[in-house]
Amino acid sequence: MTTLPRPDAAPVFDTARSPHARLHPVALGRVRLTDTFLEPRRAVNRDVTLLSQYRHLEDTHTLRNFRRVTDGSGEPFVGYVFNDTDVYKWLEAAAWTLAEAHDPALEGMIAEVAGLIEGAQDENGYLDTYYSAGRENERWSDLKDNHELYCAGHFIQAAVAHHRTTGSQHLLNVARRLADHIGSVFGPASQGKRELTDGHEEIELALVELSRETGEKRYLALAEFLIEVRGRGVLRADEGNHTFNSTYYQDHLPVREMNRVVGHAVRMMYLTTGVTDLYLENGDTSLLDAMQRLWTHMTTRQMYVSGGLGARYEGEAFGEDYELPNARAYTETCAAIGSVMWNARMLAATGAAKYADLLEHTLYNAVLPGWSQDGEAYFYQNPLADEGHHRRKAWFGCACCPPNVARLMASLPGYVYSTAGSEVWVNLYVNSEASLPVPGQDVKLIQRTDYPWDGKVELTVGTAAHFALNLRIPAWARGASLSVNGEAQPTPQPETYARVERDWQAGDSVTLELPMPVRRVRSHPRVLENAGRVALLRGPLLYALEGTDHPGTLLDDLVLPPDAELSVQRVPDLLGGVVVLEGEARRSPQADSDLYGPDANEVPAPASGKLRLRAVPYYAWANREPGQLRVWIREE
């Protein structure tokens, strides 16, 4: 393996000393992906995306917002009030990338950015370029909407990542000063502080991580305060605004009383991530109970089949239960990234395979679609149906999603394995090599697999050691089988970890077979738009139809009868190499009739008969010529 700056450091979140973590993520420097699916995308992230994003940060004046604090230019702040976070998320992505190898060019950019940030910090520790160089008197005046704690949180996360991968105290000290300043302003009224919090969560999880990284319990206490102060209905827009009431800001109820994911979806995910992080430290089961209730509500009432979250454009928010429109799905890429972060914490808290299942599903089907194959364009919204107008863009005025994708891709190896004592968990299947810590030694583990295209996984243990190997059996993997050195093991059950404990010898091999038939999935009848429609999945991947594969056909005229057979075809030269699903469909034009009328919905008899259907993985859509998209296919 490549020499790493700190090979045993840099977990994506560090639960090594968290009393209530049942599993601990393995440092991402210990895992090297060598597959042809994720790693090529990570290479694009490293070689193309990080550089192009840095240029955007310059071009949009986002870095100049830092320079103007000290250069006396008198230039105005440019962009949204929270644009500093674009820099911080980029910095976090760059910091995780350093776990792989030294990269002098990247390190040069990091040094430039780190210097700008340090320079923009006030003597008292305050850091937010919008409220500096002239707006000092307005600080903390609009907590609801002006995102100062949100910005602080993203910086702290970046500083923690930077410390983890480089060992440098430089930015971590800036983060400490910032957190100490925040702690001097916010806290119990009995201490003369302000009993308030920010309209956009993020600081909570960041402070827990800062506490873990520094060992300072006061940052954990501050995170706890900022979580516990929620639920007083203080954060809300003026009367008359129907959207931005206290549910939008998750300030409608104390966390423990919440039963529903509500409001701005990204905020909700960052809140649940932070609360779960807090539980991992304090073991308050009433918090974990609430998180489990919210997770169940989210997955049974509010989630797209892609794993995407947030049905509504207005408020970038969760809607009513079962309100899941396809073309108008908001499903912000950032919300999916938040879900990955939350599910990783829920996995750490419980060890339940369902969280790893959803982490994987969301990564493949709700995060990856948000990023073009060339690494330079992004979706903010990820609809499940489209007419060809929705295309990825190089950047946004509100550019939260692009660097969020970059930091997740950069930290991805950190999600593959977990450990605890002499237990090892394999959460994600990906061709890779790893060095995993079990008591007393590091164990080499090699995964050989063509996942997600094929469900066969061969693991080779490279080091003699006693430990238990826990292999995730996805909920979809009915009929999975497992053998060790060719010897069949008990049938693994879906949605569990299959456990094999033994004295492993170097060269021992484990073979897991996860059957990947095409799955036809229907929606609960209250998801009105999907009536009479089916979605196709195979293994961890959701599929979709694109217009470009069906020239001359409107995708709503295409009917896939329930009994139609679907074949599985590997197409190496398509979309970077994908498996497509093919089958015979029927052309059944929808009526060109009145909008409303007694016979308006009568569908005429089949016109030209049969046609060939080809479904491609949903993550790869909109990488060819613009055209229609349908995830939900007519079945009748």
Residues found near a copy of itself in the complex (CB under 8 A): 238-243, 299-301, 303, 305, 312-314, 319-320, 322-323, 325-328, 380-381, 387, 393, 395-399, 519-532, 535, 556, 590-591, 593-603
- Identify the DSSP state of 632: S
Alpha-helical (H) ranges within 393-432 are: 401-411
Known catalytic residue: 400? yes
Nearer Cβ to a copy of itself, position 450 or 529?
Answer: 529
Cα distance between residue 452 and residue 577, in whole Å:
12
Residues 6+ apart with CB under 8 A from 201: 150, 153, 250, 267, 268, 270, 271, 274
Distances (CA, A) of 547 to 330, 387, 502: 21, 9, 52
Locate tokens 């991402």: which residue?
A: 28
Nearer Cβ to a copy of itself, position 13 or 90?
Answer: 90
At closest approach, how far in Å is the CB of 609 from a copy of itself? 19
CA-based radius of gyration for the chain: 25
Nearer Cβ to a copy of itself, position 243 or 282?
Answer: 243
Locate tokens 């809140």: which residue?
A: 271
Nearer Cβ to a copy of itself, position 96 or 395?
Answer: 395
At closest approach, how far in Å is the CB of 256 from a copy of itself? 24
SS (H, E, C) 342-401: HHHHHHHHHCCHHHHHHHHHHHHHHHHHHECCCCCCECCCCCCEECCCCCCECCCCCCCH
At closest approach, how far in Å is the CB of 233 from a copy of itself? 17
Q: Give the three-class secondary structure for 389.
A: coil
At closest approach, how far in Å is the CB of 132 from a copy of itself? 23
**Given 201, 316, 332, 376, which residue is catalytic?**
316
Q: Are strands 423-426 and 465-473 parallel, antiparallel or unpaired?
A: parallel
Among residues 247, 266, 285, which one has the least CA distance to residue 201? 266
Nearer Cβ to a copy of itself, position 295 or 417?
Answer: 295
Nearer Cβ to a copy of itself, position 243 or 496?
Answer: 243
At closest approach, how far in Å is the CB of 531 from a copy of itself? 4
Q: Please classify residue 327 by burial: count the beta carbons closer than 10 Å to its beta carbon, then call 0-12 exposed, 13-18 middle and 19+ buried.
A: middle
Amino acid at 124: N
Torsion sign across C-alpha atoms 6, 7, 11, 15 = negative
**Given 400, 401, 423, 546, which residue is catalytic?**
400
At closest approach, how far in Å is the CB of 337 from a copy of itself? 19
At closest approach, how far in Å is the CB of 562 from a copy of itself? 10
Known catalytic residue: 209? no
Nearer Cβ to a copy of itself, position 97 or 331?
Answer: 331
Q: How many CB atoms lie within 10 A of CB 601?
A: 11
Per-position b or e across 459-491, b if 16+ CB within 10 A of its CB: bbbbbebebbbbbbbbebbeebbbebeeeebee
Nearer Cβ to a copy of itself, position 178 or 358?
Answer: 358
At closest approach, how far in Å is the CB of 495 from a copy of itself? 13
For the chain, the straight-line distance linking the first and the last C-alpha, in angstroms and rounded, comes to: 53
Cα distance between residue 280 and residue 290, in whole Å:
14
Nearer Cβ to a copy of itself, position 121 or 381?
Answer: 381
| Contact between 325 and 313 (Cβ < 8 Å) | no
Cα distance between residue 317 and residue 241, in whole Å:
15
Q: Bridge-partner residues for 24, per DSSP?
A: 419
Cα distance between residue 262 and residue 317, in whole Å:
7
At closest approach, how far in Å is the CB of 610 from a copy of itself? 20
Q: How many CB atoms lie within 10 A of CB 300?
A: 11
Q: Any idea which residues carry the catalytic annotation?
A: 316, 400
